[in-house]
């Protein structure tokens, strides 16, 4: 089913360059509130989620695998700094069966960039990960392990609308995300994001053009970049 969208939201485009500059502010990490919270009493780290293991390693929360309530959303997000947008966070979703990390939402006040987050919090798999190596994990068909993007809280007529983006390299129509890719991300994020329905927000002209022709089972917001 194709979902048509009202036009009450402003636009703020993300580019490939914006993958590394979209969240430039970095503040001290907040106190944990989500269900992934790790404590010093956890003794068997092998039974902990990857985010809990990383929290113990780093001494503070760096990600969660679920956003069950607004308090957890406030933990993982920062003010967007854009009119009409309330807050923004980042996610990773596995794109391959052998990807070491499951679906997660970053605590973006703790790390600016995905590659820094992965290298420091999961050194067994990503020690020394560079920006170019990270981009290969997203965009190289042979090396792809993850899909990544943002989740943003937008001001809407009905209250708050949560939109997710799916990054691509924006090199042309052939490299724009496919419906199948966005559906995979939606199906991974939705069961973990429990505070509102997620809408796909196409970014850039190539995604917009591609999404116009989709008969989508997930809602799409064309005017919310």
Which tokens go with 117? 């987050």
Domain boundaries, the chain: 46-212
Other CB atoms within a 10 A radius of the CB of residue 35 amount to 14
Write down the residue that tokens 């927000």 correspond to.
201
- pLDDT in tens for each of the 225 residues of the chain? 333 333 333 333 333 334 333 333 333 333 444 444 444 444 456 689 999 999 999 999 999 999 999 999 999 999 988 888 999 999 999 999 999 999 999 999 999 899 999 999 999 999 999 999 999 999 998 899 999 999 999 988 878 999 999 999 888 888 899 999 999 999 999 999 999 999 999 998 999 999 999 999 999 998 765
Beta 85-94 vs 63-64: how paired, if at all?
Answer: unpaired
Which tokens go with 159? 């209250």
C-alpha 219/C-alpha 163 separation (Å) is 9
pLDDT the model gives residue 81: 86
Q: Would you call 45 exposed, middle or buried from its count of C-beta atoms within 10 A (0-12, 13-18, 19+)?
A: exposed
The length of the chain in residues reads: 225
């Amino acid at each position: 089913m194709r979902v048509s969208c009202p036009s009450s939201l402003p636009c703020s485009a993300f580019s490939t360059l914006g993958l590394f500059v979209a969240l430039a502010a970095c503040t001290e990490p907040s106190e944990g509130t989500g269900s992934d919270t790790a404590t010093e009493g956890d003794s068997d780290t092998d039974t902990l989620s990857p985010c809990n293991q990383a929290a113990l390693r780093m001494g503070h929360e760096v990600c969660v695998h679920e956003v069950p309530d607004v308090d957890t959303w406030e933990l993982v997000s920062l003010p967007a700094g854009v009119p009409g947008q309330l807050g923004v966070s980042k996610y990773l979703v596995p794109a391959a069966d052998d990807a070491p990390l499951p679906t997660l939402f970053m605590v973006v006040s703790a790390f600016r960039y995905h590659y820094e987050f992965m290298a420091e919090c999961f050194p067994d798999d990503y020690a020394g990960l560079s920006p170019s190596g990270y981009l290969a994990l997203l965009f190289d068909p042979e090396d792809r392990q993850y899909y990544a993007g943002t989740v943003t809280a937008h001001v809407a007529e009905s209250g708050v609308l949560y939109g997710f983006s799916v990054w691509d390299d924006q090199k042309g129509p052939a490299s724009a995300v496919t419906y199948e890719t966005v559906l995979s991300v939606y199906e991974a994020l939705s069961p973990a994001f429990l505070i509102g329905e997620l809408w796909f927000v196409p970014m850039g002209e190539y995604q917009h053009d591609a999404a116009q022709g989709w008969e989508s089972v997930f809602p799409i917001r064309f005017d919310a970049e």
